[in-house]
Structure 1
Amino acid sequence: MPSASSASSDSDRPAPSSVWRDSDFRRLWAGQTVSQLGEHTGLVVLPLLAVLTLDASAAQLGVLRAVGQAPVLLLALFVGAWVDRWRTRTVLVLTDIGRTLALGAAALACFFGLLGLPALLLTAFVVGALSVFFDVAYQASLVRLVRPEQLVRGNSALEGSRSAAQIGGPALGGALVSLLSAPAAVASGAVCFALSFLSIRRIQRAESAPVHLERPGRVWRRIHEGLRFVVRDTTLRAVCLASAAFQFSFAATMTVYLLFLPRDLHLSASQVGLVLAATGPGALLGSVLAARLPGRFGYGPVLVAAAALGDGVFLCVPALHGSTAVTVPVLVAANLVFGAGGQLVNVAVMAVRQTVTPDGLQGRAAATITFVGMGMSPLGSLLGGFLAETWGPRAGLLATAAGMMLSPLVMISSPLAHLGRTLSAESR
């Protein structure tokens, strides 16, 4: 049941034939694309600066990544309640401004030689906190811009833009750290967020006026409504569990991976960027397949197969040895497969969530799933740093990659595996 405070009227929505005919959707898409580019650039720049410039240990790298991910655990539930009461355009614009200022200040600190590990930790936390607001708001914004039957195509376009950012972000981040100055590497993210601000601020579709002031008890009640809805819905509950299993193990894996590539396989920063960027073309392929495969084979089979293939490929990585002429192409192929499988899962799961969730609960449902899933990431990053420190990167990578297989196992034993070729509110 749509909420009067969050749902646009049908007359305000674009014609059902194509989401691309709506200029506001194009502005959201463009802003989200460049924002994701800035975010994925930062995900490589900050850890590589810590490892290659500040000579951070495995434990310190785990702490850095955990600090950047901690805002999900601390803020996601509150953000969901707040976003459902605010204009999503306002949230997106303000978060872009904040991230621009945060990375701009970090770039200046780096230029004057003041960007040590404490400053990196502060920057990672601020950018991570604002990214929680942005990510919840743009998902809720899509529901208010397009018709229900356009959600899969709209999600495919937005996830495709995230994939394009995955192509450029890691490669740009690795190249900037390797070839240019550290301040330029950090400033590149600020430029991306500034461009996102310029695009999203041009969205013209009016949203209903939100309530700015709310008693704390009311906020907690709205959070409880979102939690209760997700817990009682068997499909969304399975999404939460599968997401938590994946995000915990993936955060641990990536912490070890960012140490394994330069220190065990002796890849340069630009080669690390190339390897990580290979996830992007795979994700673009996954976005294309996500618009076709679920309708042909069913959402359930596609979800399980994509998760098992995409996550399982990392089990091969710890066995790599030898020259970069051999390891780099293999790593590129592995990341390509991972990107395709992960993107199929992302698009399909988002379509499932948005279909079974009423408009007035979209922000809180997204935030609840983000809280349960991404909230496990800080713990995973700390575990990854601990395993790399005590067992070594190679053994730690094998252990964390094996943990990623928990996600498809959860899907197999849940209602997600039985979803058919079409989705409806009754899918739950």
Structure 2
Amino acid sequence: MPSSSSASSASPASSASSAVSDSGRPVPSHLWRDRDFRRLWVGQTASQLGEQASLVVLPLFAVLTLNASAGQLGALRAVGQAPILLLSLFVGAWVDRWRTRTVMVLTDAGRALALGAAAVAGLLGGLGLPTLLVVAFTVGALSVFFDVAYHASLVRLVKRDQLVRGNSALEGSRSAAQIGGPALGGALVSALSAPIAAASSAVFFALSFLSIRRIGRREAVPEHSERPPRVWRRIHEGLRFVARDTSLRTVCLASAAFQFSFAAVMTVYLLFLPRDLHLSGTVVGLALAATGPGALLGSLLAAHLPGRFGYGAVLVSAAALGDGVFLFVPALHGSSVVTVPALLTVGFVFGTFSQLVNVTIMAVRQTVTPDGMQGRAAATISFVGGGLTPLGSLLGGFLAEAWGTRTSLLVTAAGMLLSPALMALSPLARLGRTLPAPPENPAPSA
């Protein structure tokens, strides 16, 4: 259970029956009867639609309109991912002291403004590669704040025994976004223009802003001392906590291996589809969107399979199947009649098993982490796991120029299998059907 650094011993994560909303009414025990949970769900869905669309819009505009080289595309993706490395640890230390609702609302507003400005610049003829770099970095930085706050928010809203179902529902919304976001972004870039596509992403962030700001429940945030510790001390506490926990340490290493390789894969993939397979932006968007239906299935499976077969077995097998399917992509040749169904199948399989891993990993992290350490634990894992993504994107661009897209895609896809290998060789693979409780005396958090 959380230590005394928590706001109280009866936080929403430990005793939902004692939680009350601002109106004084008890918080419903069933997730979907809880208006604030529904508002978080709606906001998350809209935010993910905006993010997924923008992740397709900016690279496709660079490739199809600006005729960006492989190195330039790698640089664009690296700039958008750099905030994970630069900001995650600081954001985690700050978010543990803030209300997550406030953080998510402000970042939604900021991303809407940044993409709205990009749309205006595009309509005025000023949306070149330098502008894309600025927009990508700004949206990436704000997304770091949103993601850390989002991962900490659920623990403050629901009981710990509802975390798997809550994560499954929220990750299901991510799945819906993965279906609609890339397809919408690719279609708008092809049929209309990049400025219109950027504007559509801004609208989704605005909708998320409107939904999340209506969450009325008081959050149980950790108590703060009159003289709070310096941010470096709080960062050190988060790093030390994750490093000392075997499960979280393994999650960091496996995530780093996956994120590095996947960033390289996606840089090459976004070149391979339009240039080697000669697919339009709309078809590229549909191929990327195929992960969405699979992710929806993965979210549903995550609510049942770990409790039946064990968390460790599910993590290792799902990661191996989901990552391994990309090895088939470099073998694709021929007309779109053959390649498109194959790409849709690869996307569906990858979406299913990667989402199963994501939800299960999130449940493990949230369950073994005290409330006052949630933001820093999430940020530390993001920093270690996602911090290498800019280097992966740059590597993907470099390999595509040096070896060609087909060979580079095979090599980078093979690298993704290091992640399930690390989990299989660790105590994480031996997790059973139930998860351990958080430590009684975690590092100080206030």
Query: Which interval holds the TM-score relative to the shorter structure?
Result: over 0.9
Residue 423 of structure 1 deviates from its aligned partner by: 1.1
Partner of 1:104: 116
Aligned position for 1:19: 31
Worse-superposed segment, 398-407 or 212-221: 212-221
Provide the C-alpha distance between the structure 1 equivalents of 2:242 and 2:384, rounded to a whole number of angstroms.
Answer: 11
8 Å CA contact retained: 1:80, 1:368: yes
**Residue matched to 1:196:** 208
Mapping 1:17-416, distance limit 5 Å: 17-207=29-219, 218-416=230-428
Query: Alpha-carbon deviation of 1:213?
Result: 11
The letter of the residue matching 1:123 is V
2 CA distance for matches of 1:226 and 1:187?
37
Q: CA contact under 8 A between 2:222 and 2:372: conserved in structure 1?
A: no
For residues 154-186 of structure 1, give each alpha carbon's deviation from its aligned partner in whole angstroms, at most 9, with x where no partner exists: 000111101110000000000000111221111
Partner-residue secondary structure (3-state), 1:425: coil
* Residue identity matched to 1:75: L
Distance in 2 (alpha carbons) for counterparts of 1:217 and 1:421: 38
User: What is the CA distance between 1:16 and its match in structure 2?
Assistant: 7.2
Q: Please give the alpha-carbon distance, in whole angstroms, between the structure 2 residues aligned to 1:178 and 1:251.
A: 24
User: In 2, Cα distance between the equivalents of 1:160 and 1:306?
Assistant: 17
Cα distance in structure 2, aligned partners of 1:37 and 1:214? 40
Q: 2:114·2:138 contact (CA, 8 Å) conserved in 1?
A: yes
Tell me, in whole angstroms, the C-alpha distance in 1 between the residues paired with 2:247 and 2:192.
Answer: 47
Q: Does structure 1 retain, via aligned residues, the 8 Å contact 2:19–2:27? A: no
Contact 2:59/2:73 (<8 A) preserved:
yes
Q: Counting helix residues as a fraction of each chain, which structure ranks higher?
A: 1
Is the alpha carbon distance of 1:390 and 1:149 closer, same or farther for their aligned partners in structure 2, counting shifts above 3 Å? same
In structure 1, list runs of 5 or more residues that go unmatched. Answer: none
Deviation at 1:332, TM superposition (A): 0.2
Q: Is the 8 A contact 1:16 1:150 kept in 2?
A: no
Identity %: 77
Conservation of the 8 A alpha-carbon contact between 2:263 and 2:389: yes
Aligned alpha-carbon RMSD (Å): 1.9
Equivalenced residues, count: 428
Q: Which amino acid aligns with 1:269?
A: G
Unaligned runs of 5+ residues in structure 2 are 21-25, 441-446
Contact persistence 1:87–1:210 (CA under 8 A): no
Q: Distance in 1 between matches of 2:384 and 2:54?
A: 24
CA distance, structure 1, for counterparts of residue 28 and residue 253 of structure 2: 34
Shift of residue 373 of structure 1?
0.5
Determine helix, strand or coil for the equivalent of 2:230.
helix
Which amino acid is the alignment partner of residue 285 of structure 1?
L
Given that residues 139 and 366 in structure 1 are in contact (C-alpha distance below 8 angstroms), is that contact kept between their aligned partners in structure 2? yes
List structure 1 segments (4+ residues) > 3 angstroms apart after TM superposition. 2-10, 13-17, 208-217
Change (3 A) 1:217 1:210: closer
